[in-house]
Amino acid sequence: MATLIDPEVERNEILRHYRRLLRTAKPYLSGNDAKLIKKAFNTSLEAHKEMRRKSGEPYILHPLAVAQIAVEEIGLGTTSIVAALLHDVVEDTPWEISDVEREFGPRVAQIVDGLTKISGVFEYGTSEQAENFRKMLLTLSEDVRVILIKIADRLHNMRTLDSMPRHKQLKIASETIYLYAPLAHRLGLYAIKSELEDLYLKYTDTEVYNDLTNKVRQSRGARNRFIKEFVTPIDEELKAQGFGFEIKGRPKSIYSILRKMRKQNVTFDEVYDLFAIRVILDVPQEQEKAACWQVYSIVTDFYQPNPDRLRDWVSTPKANGYESLHTTVMSRTGQWVEVQIRSRRMDDIAEKGYAAHWKYKDTGSVQPESTLEAWIAKVREMLETNNSSALEFMDEFRQNLFVKEVYAFTPKGKLVILPDKATALDFAFEIHTHIGLQCLGAKVNQKLEPLSYQLRNGDQVEILTSQKQRPTEEWLQYVITSKARTKIKDWLRDDKRNKAEDGRFIVEKRLELLGVENNQDNLNRMLAHFNMYNPQDFYYRIALGQLDGREIKESLFDPAIEVPRIPSMLEPKAFDQEVQKIRGVRADMLVIGEETQKFDYTIAPCCNPIPGDDVFGFETEKGIVIHRTSCPKAVEMMSNYGNRIVRAKWTDQLELAFLAGIRIKGSDRVGLVNDVTRIISNSLKVNMRSITIDSNDGFFEGQIMVFVNDTDHLNKMIHRLSKVNGVLMVERFAS
């Protein structure tokens, strides 16, 4: 029975959200702004009045929430609030962009138009998604607020993902980690980036997320006591020296804790920096740098710093404008603690990212502004110069967008910021395309290095060029920046086209000599003879001498012999139609283990799912492949090929046995391996496939591959093994 909705209660709820938005925005408003926001709210309310979200709540609450995030968490102003309130009206209602422009002016219309263009991002096949992504970036280069509101929109969707069906949750979460979280990071929105990552984990690996959340919650009391003791001497000294400041302890995000556990292969209890201490100083801008180093000196008077963990982003801000001084110090209880020192302005920029730059724009601080501006200029340049396929573009963009940076210098001392792992050849193209195309090698710190030399921070690079130098296919392996790749591909393509013209001329002359007409039939005969399907490749290879033009003889053109068909490249099968044929009906759930003879499914070797794991199916030409939702490859599959995802779950039957991997660590003792194998084979009737154990200095580490029925079976075994005398850690790993 449907629950009755009281219109009065709903109306009050909507007004409560609207008033909260106005209260938050009040400090930023001037003149006519409040009226404009009210008009946008009423327009959106009217346009969406019959619509509801999946959760059943009135649709207007979504644009209101997006506007709230835009102002409260990103720090945007009136134009953005109005655009956020209207961001869905053109798509979901009869309103047109021209109506928005007439009522709210060209700036709001431009942003709403940008948001409408990218509303369908990631809906169907890969190239369509990538094409939409390219559109989204075009709007970024016109007005960055489009992307900021899009990120606010995505954050609200992730916060309310509970009401979506499971396969949609996986798809939306994967796009988020693949694209939106790194974009938020690149635009300096650290708080939002961390929340998006945590929400991704919550929906794709719920068990791990809940487990870590509980552990963080349980350790909160002890953590707060520790922080209080740790900051007391710093607090007293800062007061004594007359600083205006705030100190806060900030827990690390669940996602970053998990990443650290996996990267360093440690347990939760062994992750030493579960939180960071942040010192925020209230000082005028011209004194910031000196004040940060003064506070660093105070902190290190009380606690010994780790010299390898000093990060100075005050002197050289990150490319997204982030400024801060980070050090890791040893506390009195033997724990390493990260301390971040920054001014209030730096903290604003770190939390609010790009939007905070506007606020500080007129203060005469050029540096952080210019680094972000330079990045956006780079995006614009990538879009203008890139003519590879949309998918390649998306791939390259991600690589260039989301990596760390390396700082190198020209011989005259100009700073050049490139992505981490960039090479001397990338550096050459960064300076100028012509220098890149003629690059022979480089002198790095006065020493000769090849094109493929990977730059390190602080390198001084002088590029050596020659008029005779020509790019080759091999160069593509030496570069990682999009600019260099695009320019090399353009040059190779032009070069191939020119050489193909030479080849065409050779073939035409040969045909003339034989007295054979130069027509399509005769071209097909030559292509078939040389087993080529592309005329340009054929001419190109003739020009290079890889195909022998003398093989073109009169006998090839004998009219008595039928014109052969040219070999063609195989078209990939249309997955959707095939799967629909198998299913017969449009069920969107694949049940594994029950009547699966109808389906051709295989278990993915990259993550070895077993019954009980949260899984999804992925359609391929060879049938459906079952992956764990936490599989490292899942993100890319779901975000790039969302239409090939099949919801899947296990049935209760246990006939099948599945291979799983267990990692075990402990102190070595006689008979330990015997105890472990006895538990596995006797008490749990499990078959072992392999066991490898290394012991060193009284410790051992082992990996055991076993066949189990499901996750319950595996968890029981892990629980029993952890009770064995001497065993310190037992965990499953993706075998």
Tokens of 682: 């006797």
Taking each helix axis from N to C end, the angle separating 344-352 and 190-204, rounded to the nearest 10 degrees, works out to 40
Complete DSSP assignment for 333-370 = TS-EEEEEEEEHHHHHHHHHTHHHHHHTGGGT--HHHH
Q: Are strands 447-449 and 439-444 parallel, antiparallel or unpaired?
A: antiparallel
Beta strands in 594-675 (DSSP E): 601-603, 615-620, 623-628, 645-650, 658-667
> CA torsion sign, 356 to 357 to 361 to 366?
positive
Residue type at position 90: V
d(CA 646, CA 167): 7
H helix or E strand, kind and range, residue 660: strand 658-667
Cα 87 to Cα 117: distance, rounded to the nearest angstrom:
11
How far is Cα 449 from Cα 444, in angstroms, rounded to an integer? 6
Instruction: Please name which of 158, 128, 159, 170 lies closest in space to residue 637, comparing C-alpha atoms.
Output: 170
Read off the tokens for 533: 């399907």
Query: Residues 6, 91, 286, 494: which is the catalytic one?
Result: 91
Long-range contacts of 449-453 (CB under 8 A, 24+ apart): 449/424, 450/424, 451/423, 451/424, 451/425, 451/475, 451/478, 452/423, 452/424, 452/425, 452/477, 452/478, 453/423, 453/424
3-state secondary structure of 411: coil
Structure tokens at 192: 């939002």
Instruction: Kindly list the strands in the beta sheet with 727-733, ordered across the sheet, starting from the edge strand earlier in the chain.
Output: 687-696, 699-708, 658-667, 727-733
Q: Is the Cα dihedral 206, 210, 211, 215 positive or negative?
A: positive
Q: What does the DSSP assignment read for 24-39? A: HHGGG--TTHHHHHHH
Residue for token pair 């390493």: 336
Tallying the residues shown for the chain, one arrives at 735
Cα Rg of the chain, angstroms: 31
**SS3 of 476, please?**
helix
- Dihedrals phi, psi of 616, to nearest 5 degrees: -145, 160
Give Cα separations from 219 to 214, 250, 268 (angstroms): 9, 13, 11
| Distance in angstroms (rounded) separating the CA atoms of residues 408 and 434 | 20
- Three-state secondary-structure class, residue 723: coil
Sign of CA dihedral 207, 210, 213, 217: negative
CA distance 196 to 426: 32
Q: Positive or negative CA dihedral for 140, 146, 151, 153? A: negative
Helix (H, G, I), strand (E, B) or coil at 228: helix
**The pairing of beta strand 275-281 with beta strand 336-343:** parallel
Beta strands in 283-421 (DSSP E): 304-305, 311-312, 325-330, 336-343, 405-409, 415-419
Residue 175 known to be catalytic: no
Helix axes 520-530, 535-544, angle to 10 degrees: 60
3-state SS assignment for residue 324: coil
92 is a catalytic site residue: yes
Q: Are 399 and 480 in contact (CB under 8 A)?
A: yes
Helix (H) or strand (E) run with residue 21 in it: helix 7-25
Comparing C-alpha atoms, which of 688, 693, 690 is closest to residue 726?
A: 693
Question: Which residue in this structure is represented by tokens 């086209």?
Answer: 497
Q: Which three-class secondary structure state does DSSP give residue 589?
A: strand
Q: Which of 92, 405, 502, 701 is catalytic?
A: 92
The catalytic site residues sit at 91-92
